[in-house]
Amino acid sequence: MPKFQANHVQLKNGKSALIRQAEISDAEQLLNCIKIYIPQSEYIPKFGQEITLSVEQERNWIQSFLTNSNSLLLVAEYENQIIGNIDLTGNQRIMMQHTAVIGMGMIEEWRNTGLGTALLSSIVDWAKENEQLELIWLQVYTANEAGLKLYKKLGFSENGIIKNFFKRGETYFDNLTMTLNVKF
C-alpha cells in the first residue's frame, strides 16, 4: 500500500499535474529529469557533471524511500513525464529519527506555476500525519527569494545562516537553514 495518496493539482499555467509517490520503475525517467533541472538551477548546489548515479543506483535510492517509514519521495508528472520531484529524507539515527530534510527540484518551464507549492504542501501534510516525524528542515540560498517566500508561506522559520557556504566560480552564497515543527 502506498504511503501517499496520488492527486492532481491545477497549476497557474492552466495545466494539471499529478503528484504521486515515486516507484522503482520511475528510476530512469526521474534520473533524466534531475539531469535536466540541476544545470538549469542556480540554487541547487550541484553541477550537472556531478550527477553520476546509474539507473540501478537510482532504483536503490527510490527503494530507500519506500522502505524507511520516516521518508517519502514524490514525483510530479505531466502527460506521463516526470517534471519535478521532492524528497523528505528521514534521519535513520535513532536520536534523530524524528527529523527529516527536504530536497526539491523541477524542470525550469514548470517553475512559478504553483508546482513547488503543491509539492511542498504535499510533503508537509504527509509529515504532519507521520507518527515518527516532529521536525522537518531544509537549506536554501539566502539569494533564492522565490524559495524563501514559499518556505515562509508554508510556515518554515529561519534557524541560522552559514556565510559563504556555497561557491560558484568566484561568487559566494550564504546558506539558510529553515525548520518546521510538524507536531507542535
Residue 56: CB atoms within 10 Å: 9
Coil, strand, or helix at residue 128? helix
| Domain limits, the chain | 7-137
* Fold adopted by 7-137: Aminopeptidase (3.40.630)
The confidence score (pLDDT) of residue 2 equals: 81
pLDDT for position 56: 94
Residue spans of beta strands (DSSP E) within 25-156: 72-78, 81-90, 99-106, 135-141
Q: What is the pLDDT of residues 60-84, one digit of tens each?
A: 999 999 999 999 999 999 999 999 9
